[in-house]
Amino acid sequence: MAEPHIGTRAFVLEKDLDAVKRIWQEVGWVEEEHEIAQLDHFFACGRTLLGTMDESPECSVHVTRGTMRLDASDLPLCAVTAVTTSRIARGHSFAQRLTAQQLQYGADTGAAVAALGMFDQGFYDKLGFGTGAYDHEFTIDPGTLMIDRKPGTPVRLSTDEYEEIHTALMNRNKVNGSVCLEPAILMRAEVGFDEKGFGLGYRDGGVLTHFVWLVPKGERGPYRVNYMAYRNTDELIELLALLKSLADQVYSLTIIEPPEIQLQALLQRPFRNMALTEKSKHAAEHESYSWWQFRVLDVAACVKVLRCRQGVEFVLRLSDPAENFLTDEGSWQGASGDYIVELGDRCTAVPGSSSQLPVLECSVNAFTRLIWNVAPASSLAVTDDFAARPGLLSDLDQAFALPPPRPGWDF
């Protein structure tokens, strides 16, 4: 039997959407009709590349423009928002090759960093992606929140308010690693994938300022907080008070810990509740995991926005595994090479080398984790492709004082 003709091309909405919907159904990403319908919105924005077999789409890679915060600056982001391969197209390296092409496009059009949500760790390492910081996910009885505050009466939010929801997320309080995705229509799809989802929030002068978007399961929960936006900690506390007010009916809800607080400190007797509810439908739990990965596309642009507490100068000898998958069609050919890096109040990275400076030899995966402070240099030297003399490792440990990156946006 002849092997199929393998090709790649750009996605055409009117021509290819039904085929992409078939792929999503095959892999189990969508099942119900209302879920499938959201793909009309999802693929109406961003940029999609297809892998084809005998001209039939069998893999799609979708990217979206946005920003990602490093220190106090928002860098242009290429977010890889969906990589989907059909049942018959496995083993043809579609996902890796198309993702590499999307990275090339992102870098050529100004993106300084790329990020994605991973199905598991390891696959995207081959494209230079390093693992992000942990999120802390809690399942709690909302009645155990020690918030001594009566919240204001909220407004209801539905998928019809997706533009307001998107604007509130874009305007939320941002920390190191905060992600924003630009097209509002993408949020229409995200809040619509579960038809039971609903929002509760607050407006000031007609403007949505802070809200939670919840997906319920049954009358008593568990509920899940899928999105949360606020401009300051006072609004955060009001949202937590609002969640607590649901406790007369809702026995449990799942929430990602907001980066401004340690949520466990606001829970009444958390270990007792874990023990009492163990193996229950409403079991109190606390898990830590990293669901996302990211990588530097433009070394100079990322280093430039850093502010480090100690001066360090060194040669960065960077390798980039994505180069194995890039074509010669784009101008960006990866981030590998030698750079002279200077850290301090003013940070720079310029191509070059010097025999007078210590050398850090590492992959772009590890370098990304370093500058966003996912892990210190001394730890990266143990776990990652990251090598330097002990004195430089110590200096790098002292240079970075950022909190771990927290995206605050599912993608």
Radius of gyration of the chain (CA): 23
Per the structure, the count of domains in the chain is 3
- Residue 78 shares a structural domain with residue 152: no
- Rounded CA gap, 335 and 319, in Å? 7
Query: Pick from 232, 252, 284: which residue ends a domain?
Result: 284
Strand pairing class (359-363; 312-319): parallel
pLDDT at residue number 1: 65
Q: What CA–CA distances, in Å, run from 83 to 47, 100, 140, 381?
A: 12, 12, 32, 31
- Residue 278 shares a structural domain with residue 241: yes
Q: Which tokens is 66 given?
A: 């946005």
CATH number of residue 308's parent domain: 3.30.1050.10
> Is residue 406 in a domain?
no
Contact 173, 230 (CB under 8 A): yes
- Residue 174 shares a structural domain with residue 120: no
Predicted TM-score of the model (pTM): 0.95
- Rounded CA gap, 363 and 128, in Å? 7
Query: Pick from 115, 133, 151: which residue ends a domain?
Result: 133
- AA identity, residue 159: T
CATH number of residue 269's parent domain: 3.40.630.30
- AA identity, residue 42: F
pLDDT at residue number 3: 82
| Other residues' Cβ atoms within 10 Å of the Cβ of residue 223 | 25
Residues 6+ apart with CB under 8 A from 286: 136, 137, 138, 139, 264, 270, 274
- Residue 279 shares a structural domain with residue 314: no
Cα 332 from chain centroid (whole Å): 23
Closest CA to 292 of 224, 223, 368: 368
Domain carrying residue 314:
298-399
Which residues does the chain have with pLDDT short of 50? none
- Residue 168 shares a structural domain with residue 278: yes
Closest CA to 335 of 345, 320, 356: 320
pLDDT at residue number 398: 97
pLDDT at residue number 329: 85
- Rounded CA gap, 172 and 383, in Å? 34
- Rounded CA gap, 152 and 343, in Å? 46
For residue 304, what is the enclosing H or E element? helix 299-304
pLDDT at residue number 92: 87
- Residue 141 shares a structural domain with residue 279: yes
Give me the torsion for CA of 389, 394, 398, 399, rounded to 10°. 0
